[in-house]
A and B are shown apart, each in its own frame.
Chain A
């Protein structure tokens, strides 16, 4: 059994209440931080821990925190990214719903470390009921003196609020999120300036994923060095994986980074193997934006090394033969899955979610959806596969935010690894031309 630091109490009855959460050691990091540590010392521990952002990009959290500008007399903000809309990802919902205080505790400890006095949790609107659970937890924390003025009798004060979104994947992109939090359309901003300099209301802001913030709690408790001992190389600590698709046991699993992929897929402790006794055909291991790879390349790298659940191992071989850990949205497809039809569902998703600011993304995603649909339905033309390839190439790297890349990569990888399947769907008489 791997070590669990985030959801080890997931099955404790009433762990969503402050009382039970505290009985199991909850809020000790707030005590420890406020009473015995300086903000700088906490940032230092987070740096030492090697924690990397769990929202998908994997940016070192300690480094991000140290970039936060601290001009005199200007408020700074911590904003938690609970937009979680990347297809295949549902770990943040699980954590917030099961153990809401784990996020609230992380927000308090992190806010203290960053010198923040007002913090927001921006949660996707579809998770409205989860916002109720969070609000209840926050209310309890205020009543217990863990939020509000003079937390635990110290001179540190913090207000924490939940803000619900209106339904838009793009609001997971941090600058679009900030626009949305300001009551506007979710159009990503041009960077720089980065949020650390000019974020919410133009003030210095840190945006972190739910799981990242929750991980600050064990890091403060055990120390950065101890945390860094878990995992392999630059992939330290534990990670929540959302497992879905054609597996026997879909769900959220906390793993130690470094777990062999094969064990994750086939052991009873995790996915429990492929459903209905079938074989695995392909997998998207890190949320819909990362490349799809065939089963063989998922389990072993091109060099024949066993693939591990780490940032480095999953991307070994680059886009030619690898993928990415991303958000940990692990989607498995069995041998009967139509890769072209699956691609169509993703193309439709990105088309639906493009904010429309940049023409390559706005126009290209719609075009890809149309072409992938006719290919998947068996009405494609022989030139369509190259057309798809061409469109995705023209989107990649040509947009303000990475949604364009996220839309392009699934197309490129599906064609790269499953071209024959696309070709087989083209009507014969067309091929003869």
Chain B
């Protein structure tokens, strides 16, 4: 996946990018970098390749290194390819106290992967993350834009089945998010 085909935002994505840039004062367009990286990640296979980052730099007219240093600082930008559904399981204090380790183990066994790995079919990647602000509905995981809360083995089964049946790549920018509040 290292050399990606034509890196070019769709017309729709480009319109959003321009709208975001217009939120900042004249000359301060670099402020748009974080939101645009999210869009780029969603558009180009769920990760930020060097080519993608260079493309974003060219849009914002900044140096590629300014993009690399930002992309590598924040935890939501994937610098390597990931499965279509990145399962991010929180394991900080409140989630740990209510069974986050069991969730990680259950998913790991079910998909035969460890945290940091991707299932053979490329559908799921597993990642352990830190507090996602969902401690009152622990244990929980985030998949793209959706928060899945109060997880049980049965619930996990259903969630994974649904994602597999749907088959689409999930992104933080998705509009069809699920949440249980």
A residues neighboring B (CB under 8 Å): 75, 84-90, 92-94, 97-98, 118, 120, 124-129, 132, 159, 161, 163-169, 180-186, 201, 242-246, 250-252, 284, 288, 329, 331, 333, 337, 341-342, 345-346, 348-349, 352-353, 355
Contact = CB atoms under 8 A, between A and B. Distances in A.
A331 B177 CA distance: 28
B133 A128 contact: no
B175 A132 contact: yes
A163 B75 CA distance: 17
Interface residues of B, number: 46
B59 interface: no
A427 to B, nearest CB: 22
Q: Which of A127, A352, A353 has the most CB of B within 10 A?
A: A127
A339 to B, nearest CB: 11
B135 interface: yes
Contact of B97 (A92, A185, A337): A337
Contact of A132 (B34, B74, B177): B177
B18 to A, nearest CB: 14
B172 interface: yes
A90 B133 contact: yes
B70 A126 contact: no
Nearest to A130: B179
Contacts of A167: 74-77
A129 B178 CA distance: 9
A245 B80 CA distance: 34
Interface stretch (B4-12, B87-95, B106-114): B87-95
Interface string B112-141: 000000000000000000111111111000
A97 B130 contact: no
B130 A87 contact: yes
Contacts of B160: none
Interface stretch (B24-32, B151-159, B161-169): B24-32
Contacts of B146: 129
B133 A85 contact: yes
Interface of B: 23, 25, 28, 30-35, 37-38, 60, 66, 69-70, 73-77, 91-94, 96-98, 130-138, 142, 145-147, 172-173, 175, 177, 179, 181
A264 to B, nearest CB: 14
Contacts of B25: 75, 118, 201
A329 B135 contact: yes
B97 A246 contact: yes
B179 A164 contact: no
A183 B31 contact: yes
8 contacts: A98-B181, A132-B175, A166-B38, A284-B93, A288-B131, A331-B135, A342-B96, A345-B93
B163 to A, nearest CB: 16
A88 B93 contact: yes
Given A84-B133, A87-B130, A125 B93 contact: no
Given A167-B74, A244-B138, A349-B131, A342 B97 contact: yes
B74 A242 contact: no
A345 B130 CA distance: 9
A252 B31 contact: no
